[in-house]
């Protein structure tokens, strides 16, 4: 909804390093900036220098290299996508994972170059998919490349967000559902595959410590 308003800049950091750097950039910007923080990221760790620094708007970051498929993870979903990429690597699928860092302005060029190279794009968002950031990213990629790109988005089903852990497990994208979706896109001729749930829990033990 906020991306839709002309004149607003929207940032969605996935780690503490970017949170500090983006806030410094926001303070120095003469435009209104919407700063979106995900509550589940408060428990993660990242290297944050004591000295002043700034993270620019409109510059996406490739946090994991790969050639099988491009995954874009928004905010906390970047962490889930990185965990899914670990599980996929175990079955020979190397996914490229991108953190958009800011949503407005959006570095659609970096995402487009990656998707055009891999030929497949999955956008995982922290919101409902209808008219969301995932739809805008996919549309931007399609408009900018002449190469065929298979694209899919993941986010919330069109119902009210649940408040119980059991329902949340089925509602929010997680490493298992993300990895399963990627496997289906990369290997459509093979039977449906999903990581062992118990093994997938090990991915949660790996803390994402930021861009370093």
- Contact predicate 27/45, CB 8 Å: no
Bridge partners (DSSP) listed for residue 75: none
> How far is the C-alpha of 17 from the C-alpha of 61, rounded, in Å?
13
What pLDDT does 109 receive? 98
Task: Specify the pTM.
Answer: 0.92
46's tokens: 């990242």
pLDDT of the chain, 212 residues: tens digit per residue: 899 999 999 999 999 999 999 999 999 999 999 999 998 888 888 899 999 999 999 999 999 999 999 999 999 999 999 999 999 999 999 999 999 999 999 999 999 999 999 999 999 999 999 999 999 999 999 999 999 999 999 999 999 988 888 888 889 999 999 999 999 999 999 999 988 877 776 555 555 555 54
Structural domains of the chain, with CATH: 2-43 (no CATH), 61-205 (3.40.50.920)
Return the closest-CA partner of residue 81 out of 71, 94, 70, 66: 71
> How far is the C-alpha of 122 from the C-alpha of 115, rounded, in Å?
9
Return the closest-CA partner of residue 62 out of 48, 81, 46, 45: 81
Interval 136-161: pLDDT, tens: 999 999 999 999 999 999 999 999 98
- Contact predicate 193/180, CB 8 Å: yes
Return the closest-CA partner of residue 17 out of 208, 193, 173, 171: 208
Element at 15 (helix H, strand E): none
3-state DSSP assignment of residue 30: coil
Place of tokens 């946090």: 63
> How far is the C-alpha of 71 from the C-alpha of 78, rounded, in Å?
9
- Contact predicate 3/103, CB 8 Å: yes
What pLDDT does 8 receive? 96
3-state secondary structure string across 44-70: CCCCCCCCCCCCCCCCCEEEECCCCEE
> How far is the C-alpha of 156 from the C-alpha of 154, rounded, in Å?
7
154's tokens: 């993941």
What pLDDT does 41 receive? 87
């Amino acid at each position: 909804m906020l991306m839709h308003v002309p004149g607003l800049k929207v940032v969605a950091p996935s780690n503490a390093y970017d949170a500090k750097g983006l806030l410094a950039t926001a303070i120095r910007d003469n435009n209104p900036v919407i700063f979106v923080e995900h509550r589940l990221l408060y428990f993660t760790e990242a290297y944050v220098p004591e000295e002043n620094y700034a993270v620019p708007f409109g510059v996406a970051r490739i946090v994991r290299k790969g050639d099988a498929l491009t995954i874009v993870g928004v905010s906390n979903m970047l962490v889930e996508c990185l965990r899914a990429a670990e599980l996929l690597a175990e079955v020979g699928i190397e996914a490229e994972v991108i953190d958009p860092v800011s949503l407005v302005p959006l570095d659609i060029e970096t995402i487009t170059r990656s998707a055009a190279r891999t030929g497949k794009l999955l956008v995982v968002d922290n919101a409902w998919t209808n008219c969301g950031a995932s739809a805008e990213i996919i549309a931007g990629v399609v408009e900018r490349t002449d190469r065929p790109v298979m694209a899919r988005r993941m986010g919330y089903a069109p119902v009210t967000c649940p408040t119980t852990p059991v329902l949340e497990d089925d509602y929010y994208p997680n490493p298992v559902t993300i990895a399963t979706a990627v496997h289906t896109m990369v290997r459509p001729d093979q039977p449906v595959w999903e990581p062992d749930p118990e093994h997938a829990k090990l991915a949660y033990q790996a803390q994402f410590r930021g861009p370093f």
